[in-house]
Amino acid sequence: MKIISSYIDVETGEGIALHDLMPGIKNAVAKSGIKNGFVTVTSQHTTTAIVINENEERLVEDVKTFLNRLIPPGDRYLHNDIALRDCPPDEPENAHSHLAAMLLGSSEVIALEEGELVSGQYQSVMLYELDGPRSRKVNVQVYGE
């Protein structure tokens, strides 16, 4: 079995921003030469998530609204008490982003069959930025034959 690793770099938007990773993932699969196996997509950051969902404009806005309602950025979180932590003074107050990432997850696995990702018609692998804007890195590993 071969394992080919690559990265997708993403410049993310403000606050919560969703980014479709499918073009980068498909490119990684094509370059790997692997036809059958699976692909793992993993975020390298604690305030982002990797989620399979539909990349539809109104749903993207619903996701942002839902996450802000579920984990309000303005609530009091111990992690946000920067004075009590050993961290740089410009550290962001982003506990809500860490909590959302924990709930959403940091990776996805997609089957690969005859060189194509096995996914539903409306499924996209999305990077959910939860504390942007930032420069982000996503690992893509293609496993198989």
- Give me the pLDDT at residue 112, please: 98
Is 49 within 8 Å of 100 (Cβ atoms)? yes
- Give me the pLDDT at residue 83, please: 83
Kindly tell me the sign of the dihedral angle through the C-alpha atoms of 106, 110, 116, 120.
negative
Token pair, residue 46, equals 């604690």
Amino acid at 132: G
β-strand pairing of 37-43 with 135-144:
antiparallel
Alpha-carbon gap, residue 17 to 45, rounded angstroms: 14
- Give me the pLDDT at residue 91, please: 84
pLDDT in tens, 21-50: 999 999 999 999 999 999 999 999 999 999
DSSP H or E run through 3:
strand 2-11
- Give me the pLDDT at residue 87, please: 84
Whole-structure pTM value: 0.94
Q: How many CB atoms are closer than 10 A to CB 130?
A: 27
- Give me the pLDDT at residue 95, please: 96
Q: What is the mean pLDDT of residues 122-135?
A: 97
Alpha-carbon gap, residue 138 to 49, rounded angstroms: 10
DSSP H or E run through 61:
helix 57-70
* 2-81+91-144: CATH, from 3.30.70.20, 2.60.120.460, 3.30.470.20, 3.40.1440.10: 2.60.120.460
- Give me the pLDDT at residue 17, please: 97
Q: What is the mean pLDDT of residues 10-21?
A: 96
Token pair, residue 105, equals 């997850």
- Give me the pLDDT at residue 77, please: 95
Q: What is the mean pLDDT of residues 7-21?
A: 97
Ramachandran region, residue 15 (left: φ > 0; alpha: ψ -120 to 50; beta: rest) = left
pLDDT in tens, 68-122: 999 999 999 999 988 888 888 788 899 999 999 999 999 999 999 999 999 999 9
Q: How many CB atoms are closer than 10 A to CB 17?
A: 20
> What backbone phi and psi angles, to 5 degrees, belong to 23?
-60, -45
What's the pLDDT band for 142 if we cut at 50, 70, 90? Answer: very high
Is 144 within 8 Å of 4 (Cβ atoms)? no
